[in-house]
Structure 1
Amino acid sequence: MTQNAPGNDYPLSEVPMHARKGLASTAMVLLGFTFFTATMFAGGKLGVAFNFGEMMAVIIVGNLLLGIYAAGLGYIAFKSGLNSVLMGRFCFGEIGSKLSDLILGFTQIGWYAWGTATAAVVLGKYLELSEGTVMGLMVLFGLMFCATAYIGYRGLEVLSYIAVPAMMLLLTLSMWVATTKVGGLDGLLAIVPTTTLDWSTAITLVFGTFVSGATQATNWTRFSRSARVAVLASLIGFFIGNGLMVLIGAYGAIVYQQPDVVEVLLLQGFAMAAMAMLLLNIWSTQDNTIYNFAVAGCNLLRTGRRKTVTLAGAMIGTLLALLGMYDYLVPYLILLGTVIPPIGGVIMADFFYRYRGQYPRLANARLPAFNGSGLGAYAVGTVAAFSSPWVAPLAGIAAAALTYVILTGVLGTRTANAPLEDL
């Protein structure tokens, strides 16, 4: 199959305008991606540390920053038709970009393993299944969740059109019952925090939960028909979608001492709804996650066989699930929030500063094997994120972008001059 065959989603080239999508399609896919159980645990920590007004302020600020970051990359994806791993060839070099391929691919396969294991473990606890049966479910889910990603963008889109409205209905039902139980808005406003959390840590939690996903949302915003579609879809997915997940987690922690909406639905007596939410919630993110892995793998291996890489990634993720990935979520989230955001900072600095908002066609670009400015800036950004007492992901993005601008000015890194062509 050629890389540009129908359904293969242009893994090594720009998405042409005739294949672009509108706002409803792009936003729905991004909402399916951001509606994810793990995000709720960040909300759970906020719910017990702030009064309701302060909590809402933290959620709005944190997710607005996340949405703006995703929208910035989304705009570049629309303009270029490229995703983050392909943009990496410009800012890191032909061979240097393999670093970002490995980082982005590795982190996504870890997410896939955790989600696969979570679905099987939670279902196993509810149905009181044996350990062997739970392991079998991991294998089943590992193969099932990649089916829509194997199809491509169209598969993700169809699942999202089914899953997102269903999840919205279940979330609305759960929040209404929880609000009634706590005594309405007056009851929420009267709740006294039981722990403390400073604003910097709180914003880090909110921004960091899905900043890795925002960095790779270019896989779908590059299909946007216009800049407006790319920016609005990013804000809908990451400001509204991720914000809703954080809010639901906070609600659950306040009312039921449980941030996971699946567990909350069980406590509310909606057992079937809880199992439906579990599968829809995880599947609609899992297929996006393994799709992310596939496009990173295609760039790493310089192959257009996206479907083959998708299946290989699903098998690796399933194996990691069987080996116990379920127990490593917290350190994994910290790792994601540290090593991935600086990539986005370098990409944005490269596009807006060095290329003045317009890449040449990738096939015609004369790119070096390594871009020292980009690799050096990424290293500085990662160190800054690791050592920052402030919001670590934001520090990493800012440090990487600023360092790239400085190094490019000092070293005089040339652009990949090539004729510009319409997509």
Structure 2
Amino acid sequence: MNLLDQDSGMRKVPESERQHWMVPATIFGGLEFSVPVLMIGAVLAGSFGISKVLLILLVGLVVIQWAGNALQGYIGAKTGLSSSVIARTSFGSLQARFIIGLALVILNIGWFAVNTAVAGNAIAAVLHVNYKENWIIWALLTIGAGLLFAIPAVIGYNSMKWTDYLAVPSGLILIIAAVFYSLKGAGWEKITSWNPEPTMTFWGAVGLILGANVAQWLIASDYTRYSKPTIKDQALIPLGIIVIGFVFFLTGAVMSVGVGDADIVTVMQNLGFPFWGFLILWLALWTSQLVASYSTGLAAANMFNVQSGKGRAWLTIIGSALGIILALMGILTFFMDFLILLGVIYPAIAGVIFADFFFIRNKEWVDKEGWNWMATLAMISGGLVGYVTQYLIPIGIPAVQSLVAAVIVYLIAMKLKAIIAPDQFTETSTVNSKKATVLQSTNFEKISD
């Protein structure tokens, strides 16, 4: 079995291949190595002092984000399956394949496209290329960046592990250097005494932190399936997100105060070392791009029932190519619309999966054929709650409210369906669940051989 065949998005990861919690924590932490995280930190500094930013991060990352990541992470480790496969037990195989899989593919390709466009713009800025006047040169730079980002994800999980081992520590060192130059230019007193007039509420700022990370409530299992299903491991794995997230959000805030600009590329150039600024940017984008590209391949493999590592690799290539095309078409213009889509869709889907796994199936995964309309109802309801509380009647934390609404609607709908019109989705017998799980495990073993 070659390297590509070992990393199929459809197969169950056996216990013999489970790794130390530091491995998925390092790879998963790469999600925070992104320019949008730095930019959000800069935006926060435009409304809050550094001490208030710390409190916002404490609530958003440690209290809320950690809990969601740990729950989904446990599901991935317990089942050994990817997120799009896990969704079959609650949504049904048909719905999970086409609806959930499509949502994952579109959103991950979107992130890949956004970051690739940012990379192209940054390289162009460093080389003094105006992409409006020299579009062909900018396009070539953007294509090259996208291809470099995709290669490790095409090869698979093990390649991502080693690239992140190199990129994460290097990126942190470079970030520290950027903070040093910010302190040198602005001074510690100015940064610590920074107290701007707020343009957003505290909870709005927390929602901004969650908006950058909410997709993890669904895709965490893509990486924790390689870890051990213990409470300790799943509580520790989100440390990668928490630690790196704190560093990047704070770095963006400090750099913005020191230079007086929320544009991270401009900030890095103004710090006095444009080449180093580009290197920081490239490393930051690289790690998050690995996750986006890899998750695209996994979800697409489930959509099209591709059960080989080579097939998963080809789908990753196709997804990355589509992301590059979107970057060239100007997806950055629709960046805010894309963020709206993230905040509406992901929490609602995660809520259905959480409710089904922990309350309906008693922590067992059972492959269910067909389409569970109760899951569809709950997903739409959660999405509507998130949309309304975000844009029509702003209140609370929309992402959390979307998830909670989906959980409540799903549990009530499933209970009513079990009474009125029971079907395969309302079967919760422990015996049936164990039989189905054994049969499914056997099928996954046959597939991976």
Shorter chain as denominator, the TM-score bin is over 0.9
Work out the CA distance in 2 between the residues paired with 1:20 and 1:264: 42
1:119 aligns with 2:119: yes
Write out per-residue CA displacement over residues 184-243 of structure 1, whole angstroms, 9 at most, x where no aligned residue.
Answer: 2x4333222134321221111011112114421211111113422233112x13222223
1:302 aligns with 2:301: no
Write out per-residue CA displacement over residues 13-67 of structure 1, whole angstroms, 9 at most, x where no aligned residue.
Answer: 2111112121221111012222111122222221121222222101111112112
The AA in structure 2 aligned to 1:283 is: W
Work out the CA distance in 2 between the residues paired with 1:213 and 1:240: 15
Moved over 6 A (4+): none
SS at match of 1:209: helix
Work out the CA distance in 1 between the residues paired with 2:142 and 2:397: 35
* Unmatched segments (≥5 aa) in structure 1: none
Give matches, 1:195-214, under 5 Å.
Answer: 195-214=198-217
1:164 aligns with 2:180: no
Aligned to 2:286: 283
SS at match of 2:8: coil
Equivalent of residue 320 in structure 2, options 296, 314, 319: 314
Give matches, 1:20-419, under 5 Å.
Answer: 20-64=18-62, 65-97=64-96, 98-129=98-129, 130-184=134-188, 186-227=189-230, 228-234=232-238, 236-259=239-262, 261-304=264-307, 305-360=311-366, 365=367, 367-388=368-389, 389=394, 390-412=396-418, 413-415=426-428, 417-419=433-435
TM-score with structure 2 length normalisation?
Answer: 0.88
Work out the CA distance in 2 between the residues paired with 1:150 and 1:259: 34
Work out the CA distance in 2 between the residues paired with 1:193 and 1:387: 29
Displacement after TM superposition at 1:176 (Å) = 2.6
Cα distance change of structure 1 residues 244 and 215 upon mapping to structure 2, 3 Å threshold: farther
Q: How many residues align?
A: 414
The AA in structure 2 aligned to 1:100 is: I
Write out per-residue CA displacement over residues 245-277 of structure 1, whole angstroms, 9 at most, x where no aligned residue.
Answer: 221221122221234554333222122211211
* Range moving further from structure 2, 258-267 or 341-350: 258-267
The AA in structure 2 aligned to 1:20 is: R
Contact 2:76–2:221 (Cα < 8 Å) also in 1: yes
Contact 1:40–1:260 (Cα < 8 Å) also in 2: no
RMSD: 1.9
Cα distance change of structure 1 residues 7 and 285 upon mapping to structure 2, 3 Å threshold: farther
Write out per-residue CA displacement over residues 110-142 of structure 1, whole angstroms, 9 at most, x where no aligned residue.
Answer: 111111111111111221223211111122222
Work out the CA distance in 1 between the residues paired with 2:263 and 2:160: 24
The AA in structure 1 aligned to 2:104 is: L
Percent of paired sites with the same residue: 26
The AA in structure 1 aligned to 2:95 is: G
The AA in structure 1 aligned to 2:328 is: L
Contact 2:30–2:241 (Cα < 8 Å) also in 1: no
TM-score with structure 1 length normalisation?
Answer: 0.93
The AA in structure 2 aligned to 1:327 is: T
SS at match of 2:94: coil
